[in-house]
């Protein structure tokens, strides 16, 4: 059963991480557009209230959506120097690192979801002039946290079963 589902699950997870990376890039483009619109508004004597707030929301969204994509491309900061000193116990060290990271990310994702839910339920709005409902920008944080948790768990399972993970790919190419 795993032989049939394995490649489909891998393809689906990789597509999820790539989609999250594309969303992060899109959010960065939106930040650029917000800056350009704000510059043009200043030149014409108009006001674009809330632009810094919106840029902050999109920056948070870009960060959280980029986490899983960066992890699976080997771009996260890792403790390879310490793991390299473990020698034949490196795999145990990697399992421990991914397990702790997965637990912490799941904890964070849980509270991000709860914060988003309560902001929606209570009708929280931002304190800026735009009065944006806070659950809208918090949603990208919650979804990005969940995707990052999935990516960490995915890598944990891969290092347990196969002894390898996707965060290695970049490290190997740097050492060559």
| Token pair 């709860």: residue | 114
Position 29 scores a pLDDT of 97
Residue 132 DSSP symbol: -
- Determine phi and psi for 85, rounding to 5 degrees: -80, -10
The answer to which of 14-18, 29-33, 134-138, 163-167 has the lowest mean pLDDT is: 163-167
Position 114 scores a pLDDT of 97
- Residue 24 lies in domain: 2-175
As for how many domains the chain has, the answer is 1
Position 92 scores a pLDDT of 86
In this structure, are residues 10 and 155 in contact, taking their beta carbons and an 8 Å threshold?
A: no
Mean pLDDT across 5-30: 91
Position 7 scores a pLDDT of 79
What's the chain's average pLDDT?
85
DSSP 52-121: HHHHHHHHHHHHHHHHHHHHHTT-S---HHHHHTTGGGHHHHHHHHHHHHHHHHHHHHHHHHHHHHHHHH
Mean pLDDT across 18-38: 95
Position 1 scores a pLDDT of 45
Position 83 scores a pLDDT of 67
Mean pLDDT across 122-139: 88
Distance CA 105, CA 90 (A): 22
Mean pLDDT across 82-91: 74
Mean pLDDT across 29-55: 90
């Amino acid at each position: 059963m795993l032989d049939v589902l394995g490649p489909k699950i891998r393809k689906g997870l990789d597509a999820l991480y790539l989609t999250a990376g594309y969303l992060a890039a899109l959010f960065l483009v939106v930040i650029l557009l917000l800056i350009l619109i704000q510059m043009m508004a200043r030149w014409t004597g108009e006001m674009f209230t809330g632009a810094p707030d919106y840029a902050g929301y999109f920056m948070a969204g870009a960060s959280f959506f980029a986490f899983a994509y960066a992890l699976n491309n080997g771009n996260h900061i890792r403790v390879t120097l310490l793991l390299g000193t473990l020698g034949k116990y490196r795999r145990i060290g990697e399992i421990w690192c991914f397990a702790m990271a997965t637990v912490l990310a799941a904890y964070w994702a849980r509270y991000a979801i709860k914060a988003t839910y309560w902001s929606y339920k209570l009708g929280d709005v931002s304190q800026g002039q735009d009065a944006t409902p806070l659950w809208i920008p918090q949603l990208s944080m919650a979804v990005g946290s969940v995707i990052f948790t999935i990516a960490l768990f995915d890598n944990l399972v891969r290092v347990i079963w196969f002894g390898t993970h996707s965060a290695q790919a970049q490290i190997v190419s740097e050492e060559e």
